[in-house]
Structure 1
Amino acid sequence: MNRSPYWDIVKGIGILAIVIGHTGLAHRFLYLFHVALFFFITGFLYNEKKYAGNPWGYFAARVRGVWPRYMVYTAFFALIHNFCVTHGIYRDQPIYSLPQILGSIFTSVTFQCPEPLHGALWFVPVWITSAALFGGCVWAGNALSAKFNRAPSAKDCAPAKDRTETCSDFAAEKPAKLRRCASLSAGIFAMFFGLLGLLLAAGAVTLPLNMHAAALAVPLYWMAWMVQKYRPDYRKFMFLPGWIVSGVFLEIMQRIGCRVNVAVLNIPGVLYYLFSLVGAYHVLSLADFLEKHRFLRPLSNMMATFGKYSFDIMALHFAVFKMIDLLYCRLILHASPDGLSSLPVGFRFLTPVYIVAGVLIPTLSGTVLDQIKRKYH
């Protein structure tokens, strides 16, 4: 699909929510949906025509889209490891030799970067795997529905006094039924993975690379895909009062003690999907409002830019937070308090600085990488 400014705005709001949540500001509210939002976005933008019959191609496309930049940033984290140790950003970490630096870089080839500043990039292998599982569900749904496919028989087409349909009517109706069957079958497979994820969460069973979270996410892809397929007019349901109501609902939920933290298996059962969908509606409604009003165009353009560079922001904002902490300790405190080594942030009162720098500096980095890519391609 062509890049949509609207969906870039959605992603921009989403990545800003992640940065804000990691500063500790409104984190209980934002954690209810901020990670799930990106699963929903990916599901909505799924290209069925291109990938329904090619799940491995879909998996390869997801890897190809993030792996080069992932390696750039994780190599950077490995190269500054010793700097972080000697300046107090890391505690209880060894000084790396050159072979250890190279080992850290090559470990990242399989999305297993060992560096603490890697932080938020735990999401990347989860996103790739969950997208691949969803692509497999769509493929399996199509394969299952094809088992029931057959050409119209002579009996189907034979004229009869009590038959009102013709052979052409039958042929026209059959593909629509098959598509619905394929979608439903894909949904059944997706719900199986969701149930598996819920069971793993309930049993506090963690898997390598947070694969338990990948299983949990698959139904969100399918739900978003259903919106894309069957409600192309979805934006007529997006309006400011809906944004307010959904926000109030989520705030009430977090005030009564509902918590979500996918990375540590803090999942409120099936309510996870309710909070994810309400959160997605909340962000989509806000994005719709920003895009439709001309006086908000500068803000919507800024959010779209953040959305375009959402991966760069995801990758770098922890590092930016710690550089801010280091500058504060060196230039203002002239000391190295314990807060310097606290992740993701050390000093809550610096939250406005964290937020602004945490999105602007990675966006600048992403812009530079894009320019380098264009120059050498």
Structure 2
Amino acid sequence: MSENNKIRNTYWDVVKGISIISIVIGHCMPFLSRFVYLYHLAIFIFVGGYLFNNAKYSKEPFTFIGNKLKSNWTKYLIYTILFIILHNILLSLGVYNHEVAIFYSKVDIIKYSINTLFFQHMEPLGGALWFIVVIVFTSILYCFIVHFSNKLKTPFLTHSFRIAIMLIGAFIGVYFVKNNIDVNNQFQKVLLMLPFATLGNYCNKIKKDTFNKLLNPIIGGLAFFALLYIVYKTDYQIEISRNIIGNPVIFYLVSCIGIFFVLVLSKYINLIKYNPFAKIGFYSYDIMALHFCVFKLIDIIYYQWNPSINLSGFPYSVVELWPLYLILGILLPIVFVLIFKRVKNFIVNILVKFQILKV
């Protein structure tokens, strides 16, 4: 791997690091949620579009699908089934509200585990994983758009086709979201987010030096103050999980402003030799999956000292504990994964040593 590729990969991990931190902030710091909700999901789709390998996967879409599902579906399956197994325990502890949640029978556990195979089940503690489904299917949809557009005879027709499909998809997505029409696997939100994948992919076609010059402090500063103005001087808000996007033109414009704010911020953070953002970005999936679980673990511990709190409050019970939610919601998922990897490697090494397993 060349030095340039190392730098580039670190940069995009920093981008994802800032983005996942923004997601955790949005879920535990209500006084900042309106700000981070303006961009925190769109940036993940943009990154996926930017890093999409046109030359390779436009000719081999099913290879891309296989790689995408391998890297996302397996973790989704593990985390969701883990939360299904823990469901009744959490219900008995009072973490889940008895008036809302039900006790799972053995049949329920099997049924919901099977549904998980098709991204068709979501547990409350894994609620943030809905967006992983959107990321996966947006990437797959864009891959097929590129694949079929490349079969057209001229570059003009190729790019016209991509943009036309994007606009049609976005129009349908906006209509469904605005009218609260839900489709399997969040497909209405897949269509809604498709323009960000397209934007990311076309930004990758810009010369790297030119694109890098665009990511300057002036652009970043203007984007930051534009976001502040929107939050403090208007009542406009975005909350995609609840189908809140407001005016669709403003939605796409504001999201793009937020994307470039994060890109500029990441550029200068990446210049710092030792910073945690790249590592956090590398584990963004695990943080996405586990931060609600960490929130409720903190609540369970705090409940022992103050049983008057509403333990079933979701995603957290005590807003004043936001510093703990934020810090531990980011760190503990990373620690969990690192411990899991060490235990896994230890077991594998023993099995290999005694020739039970061959590698």
Q: Same fold (TM over 0.5)?
A: yes
Matched, 1:297 2:297: no
Measured in 2, the distance between the counterparts of 1:141 and 1:56 equals 16
- 1:105-124 pair list within 5 angstroms: 105-124=113-132
Q: Please, which runs of 5 or more residues in structure 2 have no aligned partner?
A: 349-358
User: What is the alpha-carbon root mean square deviation over aligned residues?
Assistant: 1.9
Confirm or deny: 8 A CA contact 2:309 2:317 kept in the other structure: no
Distance 2:222 2:103 in 1: 51
Which of 18, 22, 28 pairs up with 1:13?
A: 18
Matches for 1:124-273 after TM superposition, within 5 Å: 124-143=132-151, 145-146=152-153, 178-179=154-155, 181-233=157-209, 234-255=211-232, 256-268=234-246, 269-273=248-252
Maintained 8 Å contact 1:321/1:345 = yes
- 1:124 positional shift: 1.7
TM-score norm. by structure 2 comes to 0.88
Q: For residues 120-179 of structure 1, what are the alpha-carbon distances to aligned partners after superposition, in whole Å with 9 as ceiling and x for unaligned? A: 001122111111111111112112x23xxxxxxxxxxxxxxxxxxxxxxxxxxxxxxx34
State the TM-score, normalized to the length of structure 1: 0.84
Residue of structure 2 in register with 1:103 after alignment: 111
CA distance in 1 between partners of 2:166 and 2:344 (Å): 36
Distance 1:277 1:373 in 2: 41
- Give 1:350 shift: 0.4
Task: Summarize deviations over 1:212-234 as a string: whole Å, max 9, x none.
Answer: 10001111111111110123221
* CA shift for structure 1 position 181: 4.0
CA shift at 1:30, angstroms?
0.6
CA separation in 2, counterparts of 1:225 and 1:374? 37
Q: 2:123 is matched by which residue type in structure 1?
A: E
Tell me whether 302-311 or 98-107 shows the greater mean CA deviation: 98-107
Paired residue type of 1:349: E
Q: Is the 8 A contact 1:210 1:263 kept in 2?
A: no
- Taking the aligned partners of 1:231 and 1:187, their CA distance within structure 2 comes to 20
One-letter code of the match for 1:43? G
Structure 1 unaligned regions, length at least 5: 147-177
Q: Indicate the residue corresponding to 1:345 in structure 2.
A: 316
Deviation at 1:61, TM superposition (A): 1.9
Equivalences for residues 12-91 of structure 1 within 5 A: 12-23=17-28, 24-91=30-97
Contact 2:34-2:237 within 8 A present in 1 as well: yes
Instruction: Give the corresponding residue for 1:288.
Output: 267
* Larger Cα-atom Rg: 1
- What is aligned with 1:311? 285
The structure 2 residue matched to 1:366, chosen from 337, 340, 349, is: 337
Match of 1:172 in 2: none
Q: Which amino acid aligns with 1:337?
A: I
CA deviations on 1:299-335 (whole Å, 9 max, x unpaired) are 2xx10001100000000001110111111011x21x1
> Counterparts of 1:136 and 1:108 in 2: how far apart (Å)?
24
Q: Identity percentage over the alignment? A: 29
Partners of 1:22 and 1:240 in 2: CA distance: 28
Mapped to 1, the partners of 2:42 and 2:253 lie a distance apart of 11
What CA distance in whole angstroms lies between the structure 1 residues aligned with 2:329 and 2:206? 37
Deviations 1:173-198 (A, max 9, x none): xxxxx345423321221122111111
Compared CA separation, residues 47 and 308, structure 1 to 2 (3 A)? same
Q: Distance in 1 between matches of 2:131 and 2:317?
A: 22
